[in-house]
Chains A and B, each alone.
Chain A
Amino acid sequence: MIFFIGVFVLVPWLIEMSGRWDYYYTLTSVALLSIASAGVWLTFYIGRINIGQGAYALAGGYLSAVLVTQYEVSFWLTIPLAGLFCAVLSMLIGLPILRLKGVYFAMITLVLTEVAKLTALALPITNGAKGIVSIPLPGELSVFGMTIIPDFSTLENVKLAFYYLAVTLMVICFAGMYRLVNSRMGHLCRSLQQNEELASSIGVNITTLRITAYAISSFLGGVGGSIFVAISQSIYPTSFQVADSINFMLNVFVGGLGYVFGPMLGTVVIYFGWDLLFQTGKFQLLIYSSILILLMLTVPNGLLSLRLFKWNKEKK
């Protein structure tokens, strides 16, 4: 509850006070990236190292961009469509590759990101390296003549609107993830992470479960990608590439693999850390990577593992 008030009331108020409007963009990005990272986290949860989220974010982004610019579909409709498209795509791709484990799966997902980029370059509909630019802002969403979300281009503060959109989705996404992890399926996923053969032998349908988890993961990637496109109003084959896929993975790692809210914390820390270091100019990457290495040396199990450790002590 505190969290809700925090993100919906307190943060806009603080930004209003400080007059730093650019933080809206930063926080919106954090919210969207954490949605995509939550997807990556779910694949980690079933014991797979996923470095391919960039591919689905790119696919979702392109689907939304193409539908909006060429078929004049409402942007709001393209968000779930992008998610579903990625989910179906991931089922097709996942069916063979989810049989791979460990490093093999990691490497093939890395290759997948590269494939997505090259496909976007090669296909005519994605307009090659020039990308799709000047995508219109989201229009209004109305149900039975009742306006639920106003046309973004009529709003005086688009950044705030996007912020609310992204944060709302993020809250829904993490609430859903929390529910999922603590459901029957979540427990089954944990059994996959520990030992697939054993899980299979006691009657868990591991193939279905793996593919479901991977599809949900890609769904989130697609949703995140499609909204990102709406904000930047453009998409290029390089919008999401290998570095982004690796960053999604880093977000999850830094937050902690064992915790649902890990990806959110990880994204906040990494994105803000990177932004704050911007002032250091050309030493940005050097300092950033040094901090990452130090983080790994001190808390290899993620930032949230610190909190859990303390909590355990208090209980004793």
Chain B
Amino acid sequence: MSSENIVMEQVLVNGLYLGMQYALIALGLTLIFALMNVLNFAHGQLYVVGGFITYIIYGKLGLPFFVAIVASGVTLGLVGAVIEKFLFRPVIRKSVREESTMLLAAAIAFFLDAIILLLFGEKQRGVPKILDGVMNLDFVVIMPYDRILIAALAGSAVVTFILFMQYSKPGRAMRALAQDRIAAQLMGVNVDRYSMIGFALGAMLAGVAGGLLVSIVGVNSGIGGPVSIKAFMMVMIGGAGVISGAIAGGFILGMLESIGLTVLVAYGDLTYLVIFVSLMIFLSIRPQGLMGKPWG
């Protein structure tokens, strides 16, 4: 039986590949959280919108894949900027308790869900493969070329993002904002402007991730919520608001999923139950996640 002997190399490669995509999703969420202390429930929905934009431009109009990805990113960036400027900013200013933003985020998630459903319907959508062929290393590791390309693109997006945050002026401003909002303001950082840029950037990452993945797993209007939950988990594993943590969380979750789906398959659909429960145990021992600030 081929399913009996598990090829560990293949499992690890799958895990790396999943982790690369997850890291991209988690990065956007953690950025928004770090800058504005907002738990963006709508993150999965932004991902879905990105997926559908790529589906239309690449799948329907037949324009090159890279154009579609860029269009997804830019559109989502604009959407993010609008959401921050007209929704989150006034609510944060007016509300007595911080938690009000969570209701707003949940409402936005519902709103985007409704729009996605109205515009695109319930059907699962896919696009033609961007690359044909399969990489085969002695039948130990088998990986389709398009997956390798997507993983590489996701990886380069992550690297670009880190370089941007580390060396550009807006990146520095945003890191200052994440460390201490008031101190940053006193140093002359335009807090409103960089909050907006940060939110737009976070949304853009979600859109790019959605656009990249539509070429492999397709997209449908119902996956927004589950994607959000996965993103929350990755952020929690790594520590909320920490960029390196989000990347680590993404890879850990990708690895766990890949291993779990192979090892636990004999016992039925237990992978997620095990992941969730171990996450709860992990967090009760180390509440701030792997790399988070120990604020509790």
A interface, CB within 8 angstroms of B? 44, 49, 93, 96-97, 99-104, 106-108, 110-112, 114-115, 118-119, 121-122, 242-243, 246, 249-250, 253-254, 257-258, 282-286, 288-290, 292-293, 296-297, 300-301
Contacts and interface: CB of A to CB of B under 8 A. Distances in A.
B236 A107 contact: yes
Contact of A296 (B104, B225, B270): B104
Interface of B: 33, 37, 39, 41, 87, 90-91, 94-97, 99-100, 102-104, 106-108, 110-111, 113-115, 117-118, 225, 229, 232-233, 235-236, 240, 268-270, 272-273, 276-277, 279-281, 283-285, 287-288, 295-296
Contacts of B37: 103
18 contacts: A44-B99, A96-B280, A99-B287, A102-B296, A104-B296, A106-B39, A106-B102, A111-B236, A121-B269, A243-B225, A253-B102, A257-B96, A282-B117, A283-B114, A288-B110, A292-B103, A300-B100, A301-B94
Contact of A297 (B91, B233, B283): B91
A100 B283 CA distance: 8
A243 B226 CA distance: 11
A102 B104 CA distance: 16
A289 B280 contact: no
A297 B108 CA distance: 12
A131 B51 CA distance: 34
Contact of B118 (A283, A292, A300): A283
A199 to B, nearest CB: 15
A249 B106 contact: yes
Nearest to B295: A101
B284 A97 contact: yes
A93 B281 CA distance: 10
Contacts of A106: 39, 102
Contact of A250 (B103, B236, B273, B277): B103
A52 to B, nearest CB: 11
Given A243-B225, A297-B87, A115 B273 contact: yes
Contacts of A49: 99, 102
B107 A293 contact: yes
Contact of B111 (A107, A242, A289, A300): A289
B100 A301 contact: yes
A44 B284 CA distance: 20
B46 to A, nearest CB: 15
6 residue pairs, one from A and one from B, having the closest CB atoms? A96-B284, A300-B95, A289-B110, A285-B114, A292-B107, A289-B111
The listed residue with most A CB atoms (<10 A of its CB), out of B99, B107, B268, B285, is B107
A156 B279 CA distance: 50
Given A49-B102, A104-B296, A257-B99, A285 B240 contact: no
B107 A103 contact: no
Contacts of A288: 110, 114
Given A100-B287, A118-B276, A111 B233 contact: yes
Contacts of B117: 282, 285
Contact of B272 (A104, A114, A282): A114
A250 to B, nearest CB: 6
B99 A289 contact: no
B38 to A, nearest CB: 9
B118 A246 contact: no
B95 A108 contact: no
Nearest to A96: B284
A247 to B, nearest CB: 9
Contacts of B279: 108, 111
Contacts of A243: 225
Nearest to B38: A103
B280 A108 contact: yes
B292 to A, nearest CB: 8
B284 A99 contact: yes
B236 A108 contact: yes
Contacts of A112: 280
Contact of B269 (A96, A122, A292): A122
A220 B273 CA distance: 25
Nearest to A48: B99
A146 to B, nearest CB: 47
A246 B108 CA distance: 13
A114 B111 CA distance: 22
B236 A104 contact: yes
Nearest to B110: A289
Contact of A110 (B90, B107, B118, B229): B229
Contacts of B225: 242-243
A301 B94 CA distance: 8
Given A99-B287, A100-B287, 18 more contacts: A49-B102, A96-B280, A99-B284, A111-B232, A111-B233, A111-B280, A112-B280, A122-B273, A246-B41, A246-B106, A253-B100, A253-B103, A283-B114, A285-B113, A288-B110, A289-B111, A293-B104, A296-B100
